[in-house]
DNA sequence: GCCGTTTTCGGCCCGACTGTTTTCAGTCG
């Protein structure tokens, strides 16, 4: 049972209670506990065994009992009871923009609508406008919400909005009435997926700025507009929110709009405890004095906190750490001295060894590991021992020509279904870097897959396990694997775990990478680039590492070349 | 349902915008 499963059950209880019209604070209590469980860096089952579930923020005696019931029996009777009262389709209403608990409840109790399809038919037939508190506009808004839900059910990858986000920000910054413009929201927190873009602008002329924003070719339509806030849609269909504030309010607005909502809620609670108030305009005394603030750090400081980097603002312990001045110095892209997972056209990459090496030189990397696939991965033209040996000779010759970057001979060797490796030890021991990973038999059961990966880690030549859960964000779930057990085995066998920087992998995830590093497992952040261009993905891996609270010391490819070579030669001994 | 260097009961984060309303509820972030 994963933390995620427990969190999901608690979230479902919250949603059901909301639809059934339960007390809002009770609903929020379940939501808060769900987030606490999901964000908890350790294993909830461990906590349960130690009878310490209440260490999770928001979990008290009643929820401890329900979580324990879930862990023991696989379900929660209370949840089962609630499910009997609300048809499953009604829960989906909450995913439609514009519909919250109240509306969902009315649609179900008054019109007995039980699915999105029924809701859509009712709205088209004009049945909704007769309900109390509803009208034609709300009916139309619900229909638009259903369209948006169908079209854009999932979130979009961070990498897929990157260029658009900075184009919009730069366009705003170019306008004379704009004193400052910044991206906020989950984009600034570098979440792996994004629902919409948030921008904050400092200006004395909000009307002018909003007119200008609406006229940008990047913006297709404006969906709502008030005095200081505008919502629109980009040509690509992504929602974009703009907020215009005075220069003196910019830092507070940036903090507020960066979120997360949970982080903000905690800050407001802390302000209250200190006899202050914080909102999007700044920090206030109770008698209405607004403290002047230049930058976000000033607001944190007024609350007795050191600065918290956006990537940590998820209410996962960062406020407590900041109160003790214990926010770690997070890793940054400039700490990365090389990439340890690169494919070339020898297997399924696009670039030649020379081309990826040249890119490494341009970036000032000290080293680059060539790690093409092994023979079993026929679809990728995986290398057999003879081709691997020939490739190694070419790499050694290149190393004699190039001074500024060191190419390392490596392989991404398949972990076969039984946990053995796709090359014999005699081949592996000749290499500088051995990465092992799963590319086949994804449907093994949890125990088989877990044993399979652990067996690979027990091989003395395996340095790194790549993309340990196999997930493809938005496309394929992780295979069944006990990642906590894999992490424990990585510690025991001194095997490095990868944060695969490919934007649709980010595997390990932030939560798992934090778990691994907190146990002392070393991490490698690798692009897994299959082209020169894809080597740029390194930055997304670093974002993920920052969200995992990692420092330079946690990550092996921040080491200088000689230190790294020494590490690779000795860590499995 | 949770939580406490004011509290073990009575609070629980704050504001913009929309739509349906004549003063506010619902949604969203």
Taking the CA of residue A60 and the C1' sugar atom of nucleotide B12, their distance in angstroms comes to 15
Query: Which range is least confidently modeled, A34-43, A71-80, A172-181, A361-370?
Result: A34-43
Taking the CA of residue A171 and the C1' sugar atom of nucleotide B2, their distance in angstroms comes to 46
**Average pLDDT score over residue span A105-128:** 86
Ordered by where they begin, the domains of chain A are 3-151 (1.10.150.110), 156-245 (3.30.460.10), 253-323 (3.30.210.10), 333-570 (3.20.20.140)
Taking the CA of residue A335 and the C1' sugar atom of nucleotide B3, their distance in angstroms comes to 42
CA dihedral sign, ordered A413, A419, A423, A429 = positive
Q: Name the closest nucleotide to A140, judged by C1' and CA.
A: B19
Provide the phi-psi class of A467: left if phi over 0, else alpha when psi is between -120 and 50, else beta.
left
The answer to whether A60 CB is within 7 Å of strand B is yes
* Residue lying closest to nucleotide B12, CA to C1': A25
Taking the CA of residue A571 and the C1' sugar atom of nucleotide B15, their distance in angstroms comes to 54
Query: Who among residues 230-259 of A has its Cβ near strand B, under 7 Å?
Result: 239, 241, 257, 259
**Average pLDDT score over residue span A406-413:** 96
pLDDT(A145) > 90: no
| CB of A523 closer than 8 Å to CB of A555 | yes
List protein-proximal bases of chain B (any atom < 7 A from a CB). Answer: 1-3, 6, 11-21, 25-29
Query: For residue A475, what pLDDT band results from cuts at 50, 70 and 90?
Result: low
**Can you tell me whether residue A551 is helix, strand or coil?**
strand
Beta strands in A417-560 (DSSP E): 433-437, 464-465, 496-500, 523-526
Query: Who among residues 85-124 of A has its Cβ near strand B, under 7 Å?
Result: 96-104
CA distance linking residue A291 with residue A442, whole number of Å: 56
**Average pLDDT score over residue span A206-226:** 91
The distance in angstroms from the start CA to the end CA of chain A is 33
Taking the CA of residue A103 and the C1' sugar atom of nucleotide B27, their distance in angstroms comes to 10
Taking the CA of residue A505 and the C1' sugar atom of nucleotide B16, their distance in angstroms comes to 36
Strands A219-225 and A229-234: antiparallel
Helices and strands: H and E segment counts in chain A: 24, 16
Q: Name the closest nucleotide to A228, judged by C1' and CA.
A: B16
Taking the CA of residue A18 and the C1' sugar atom of nucleotide B7, their distance in angstroms comes to 28
Taking the CA of residue A100 and the C1' sugar atom of nucleotide B25, their distance in angstroms comes to 12
Q: Name the closest nucleotide to A94, judged by C1' and CA.
A: B27
Q: Which ranges in A94-233 belong to alpha helices (H)? A: 101-111, 116-124, 136-151, 158-173, 185-188, 206-215
At residue A477, the pLDDT reads 77
CA dihedral sign, ordered A149, A150, A151, A154 = positive
Query: Who among residues 269-308 of A has its Cβ near strand B, under 7 Å?
Result: 269, 272, 275, 277, 279-281
Query: Which range is least confidently modeled, A233-237, A316-320, A409-413, A543-547?
Result: A233-237
Q: Name the closest nucleotide to A268, judged by C1' and CA.
A: B13
Taking the CA of residue A405 and the C1' sugar atom of nucleotide B25, their distance in angstroms comes to 64
The answer to whether A136 CB is within 7 Å of strand B is yes
Taking the CA of residue A274 and the C1' sugar atom of nucleotide B5, their distance in angstroms comes to 12
Chain-wide mean pLDDT for chain A?
90
Taking the CA of residue A382 and the C1' sugar atom of nucleotide B13, their distance in angstroms comes to 56
Query: For residue A147, what pLDDT band results from cuts at 50, 70 and 90?
Result: confident
Taking the CA of residue A324 and the C1' sugar atom of nucleotide B6, their distance in angstroms comes to 23
* Residue lying closest to nucleotide B11, CA to C1': A25
At residue A398, the pLDDT reads 93
pLDDT(A152) > 70: no
**Average pLDDT score over residue span A58-67:** 90
The answer to whether A82 CB is within 7 Å of strand B is no
The H or E element spanning position A502 is none
Taking the CA of residue A262 and the C1' sugar atom of nucleotide B9, their distance in angstroms comes to 25
Within 10 Å of residue A57's Cβ, how many Cβ atoms?
A: 18
Q: Name the closest nucleotide to A22, judged by C1' and CA.
A: B1
CA distance linking residue A210 with residue A553, whole number of Å: 45
CA distance linking residue A39 with residue A4, whole number of Å: 9
* Residue lying closest to nucleotide B17, CA to C1': A226
Summarised one tens digit per residue, pLDDT across range A323-352 is 989 999 999 999 999 999 999 989 888 889
Q: Name the closest nucleotide to A284, judged by C1' and CA.
A: B14
Q: Name the closest nucleotide to A224, judged by C1' and CA.
A: B17
Query: For residue A547, what pLDDT band results from cuts at 50, 70 and 90?
Result: very high
**Average pLDDT score over residue span A46-67:** 87
CA distance linking residue A123 with residue A139, whole number of Å: 6
Name the residue with higher pLDDT: A9 or A474.
A9
Taking the CA of residue A106 and the C1' sugar atom of nucleotide B2, their distance in angstroms comes to 28
Q: Which ranges in A282-424 belong to alpha helices (H)? A: 296-302, 318-323, 353-363, 385-401
pLDDT(A153) > 70: no
Q: Name the closest nucleotide to A256, judged by C1' and CA.
A: B29
């Amino acid at each position: 049972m994963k933390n995620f499963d427990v969190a999901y059950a608690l979230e479902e209880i919250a949603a059901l209670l909301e639809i059934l019209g339960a007390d809002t604070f009770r609903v929020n209590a379940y939501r808060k506990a769900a987030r606490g469980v999901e964000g908890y860096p350790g294993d909830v089952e461990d906590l349960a065994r130690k009878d310490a579930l209440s260490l999770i923020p928001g979990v008290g005696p009643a929820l401890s009992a329900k979580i324990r019931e879930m862990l023991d029996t696989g379900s929660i009777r209370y949840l089962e009871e609630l499910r009997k009262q609300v048809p499953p389709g009604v829960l989906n209403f909450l995913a439609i923009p514009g519909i919250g608990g109240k509306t969902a409840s009315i649609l179900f109790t008054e019109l007995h609508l039980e699915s999105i399809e029924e809701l859509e038919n009712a709205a088209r037939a004009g049945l909704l406008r007769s309900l109390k508190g509803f009208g034609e506009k709300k009916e139309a808004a619900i229909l638009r919400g259903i369209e948006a839900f169908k079209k854009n059910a999932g979130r979009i990858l961070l990498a897929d909005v990157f260029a658009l986000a900075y184009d919009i920000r730069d366009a705003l910054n170019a306008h004379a009435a704009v004193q400052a413009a910044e991206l906020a929201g989950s984009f600034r927190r570098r979440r792996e997926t994004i629902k919409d873009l948030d921008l904050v602008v400092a200006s004395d002329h909000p009307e002018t700025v909003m007119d200008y924003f609406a006229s940008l070719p990047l913006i297709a339509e404006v969906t709502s507009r008030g005095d200081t806030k505008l919502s629109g849609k980009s040509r690509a269909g992504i929602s974009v929110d703009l907020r215009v504030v005075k220069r003196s309010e910019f830092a507070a607005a940036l903090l507020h709009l960066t979120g997360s909502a949970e982080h903000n809620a905690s800050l407001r609670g802390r302000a209250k405890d200190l006899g202050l108030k914080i909102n999007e305009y700044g920090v206030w005394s109770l008698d209405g004095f607004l403290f002047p603030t230049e930058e976000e750090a000033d607001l944190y400081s007024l609350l007795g906190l050191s600065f918290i980097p956006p990537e940590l603002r998820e209410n996962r312990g960062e406020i407590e750490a900041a109160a003790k001045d214990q926010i770690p110095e997070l890793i940054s892209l400039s700490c990365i001295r090389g990439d340890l997972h690169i494919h070339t056209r020898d297997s399924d990459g696009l670039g030649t060894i020379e081309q990826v090496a040249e890119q490494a030189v341009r970036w000032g990397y000290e080293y680059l590991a060539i790690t093409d696939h092994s023979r079993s991965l026929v679809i990728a033209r995986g290398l057999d021992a003879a081709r691997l040996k020939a490739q190694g000779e070419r790499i050694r010759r290149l190393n004699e020509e190039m001074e500024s970057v060191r190419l390392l001979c490596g392989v991404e060797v398949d972990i076969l279904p039984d946990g053995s490796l796709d090359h014999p030890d005699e081949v592996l021991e000749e290499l500088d870097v051995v990465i092992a990973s799963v590319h086949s038999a994804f449907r093994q059961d949890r125990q088989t897959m877990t044993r399979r990966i652990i067996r690979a880690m027990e091989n003395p030549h395996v340095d790194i396990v790549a993309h340990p859960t196999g997930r493809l964000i938005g496309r394929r779930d992780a295979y069944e694997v006990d990642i906590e057990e894999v992490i424990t085995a990585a510690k025991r066998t001194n095997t490095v775990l990868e944060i695969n920087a490919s934007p649709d992998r980010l595997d390990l995830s932030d939560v798992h990478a934090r778990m691994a590093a907190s146990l002392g497992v070393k991490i490698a952040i690798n692009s897994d680039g299959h082209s020169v261009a894809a080597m740029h993905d390194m930055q997304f891996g670093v974002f993920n590492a920052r969200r995992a609270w990692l420092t330079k010391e946690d990550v092996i490819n921040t080491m200088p070349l000689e230190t790294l070579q020494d590490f690779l030669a000795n860590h499995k001994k």
